C-alpha cells in the first residue's frame, strides 16, 4: 500500500516549490521592468533622416530611366518599321489570296448555274418524252381499235423506201 504522507513532509515540499515560484516571479518582474525601460528609451528616441543622399539617388535613377526610355523608344520605332514592311509584303499575298478566292467563287457559281440549267433541261426533256410516249401509246391504241395497224405499217414501209 501507499505510504501515508505526514503533514510535515507535505509542508516541506510545499515550501520548497513556493520558493522556486517566488524566484520565478522575481525574475519576471525584473524582465518586465527592463522591458519597460527599453520601451521608454524607444519612445524618447527619434530618427534623423538625411535627404541629401536620397536626392542624389533620385537624380541618378531619373537619368537612368530616361536613358532606358530612349532605348525602348528606339526599339519600338524599329519594330514598327519592320511591322510596316512585313504588312506591305503580306498585303500583296493577301491581295493574291482574295483574288484567287474571287475567281474560285465565280467558277463555283458558273458550275452551279450550269448544273441547275442541265437539271431543268433534263426535267423538260423527261416531260416531253412522257408526253410523246403517252401520245404514241394513245395513237397505237387507236390504230389497234380501228384495225389500222397493218395499213400504218405498210405506209411506214412505203415511206422508208
Extents of the domains making up the chain: 18-43+62-160
DSSP-derived secondary structure letter, 146:
T
The pTM of the full predicted model, rounded to 2 decimals, is 0.37
User: For position 104, what pLDDT does the model report?
Assistant: 95
- Among 14-18, 33-37, 113-117, 141-145, the range with the most confident prediction by mean pLDDT is 113-117
Is the pLDDT score of 9 beyond 80? no
What is the distance, to the nearest Å, from the Cα of residue 14 to the centroid of all Cα atoms in its chain? Answer: 77
Three cell numbers written together for 45: 528616441
Exposure string of 57-67, with b = 16+ CB inside 10 Å and e = fewer, is eeeeeeeeeee
User: For position 152, what pLDDT does the model report?
Assistant: 78
Rounded to whole angstroms, the Cα distance separating 68 from 74 reads 10
DSSP-derived secondary structure letter, 2:
P
User: Tell me: the pLDDT tens digits for 41-74?
Assistant: 877 877 777 777 777 888 888 889 988 999 999 9
User: For position 128, what pLDDT does the model report?
Assistant: 95
Alpha carbon of 19 to those of 12, 13, 27, 33, 64: distances in Å?
A: 11, 10, 12, 21, 69
Determine the average pLDDT of the residues in 134-146.
86
Looking at 23-27, 82-86, 116-120, which range is the least confident one? Answer: 23-27
Amino acid at each position: 500500500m501507499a505510504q501515508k504522507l505526514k503533514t510535515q513532509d507535505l509542508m516541506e515540499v510545499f515550501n520548497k516549490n513556493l520558493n522556486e515560484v517566488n524566484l520565478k516571479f522575481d525574475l519576471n518582474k525584473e524582465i518586465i521592468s527592463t522591458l519597460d525601460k527599453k520601451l521608454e528609451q524607444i519612445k524618447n528616441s527619434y530618427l534623423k533622416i538625411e535627404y541629401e543622399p536620397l536626392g542624389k539617388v533620385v537624380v541618378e535613377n531619373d537619368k537612368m530611366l530616361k536613358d532606358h526610355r530612349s532605348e525602348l523608344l528606339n526599339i519600338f520605332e524599329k519594330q514598327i518599321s519592320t511591322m510596316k514592311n512585313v504588312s506591305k509584303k503580306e498585303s500583296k499575298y493577301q491581295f493574291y489570296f482574295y483574288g484567287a478566292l474571287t475567281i474560285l467563287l465565280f467558277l463555283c457559281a458558273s458550275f452551279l448555274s450550269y448544273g441547275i440549267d442541265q437539271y431543268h433541261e433534263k426535267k423538260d426533256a423527261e416531260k416531253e418524252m412522257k408526253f410523246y410516249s403517252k401520245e404514241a401509246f394513245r395513237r397505237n391504241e387507236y390504230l389497234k381499235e380501228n384495225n389500222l395497224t397493218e395499213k400504218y405499217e405498210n405506209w411506214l414501209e412505203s415511206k422508208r423506201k
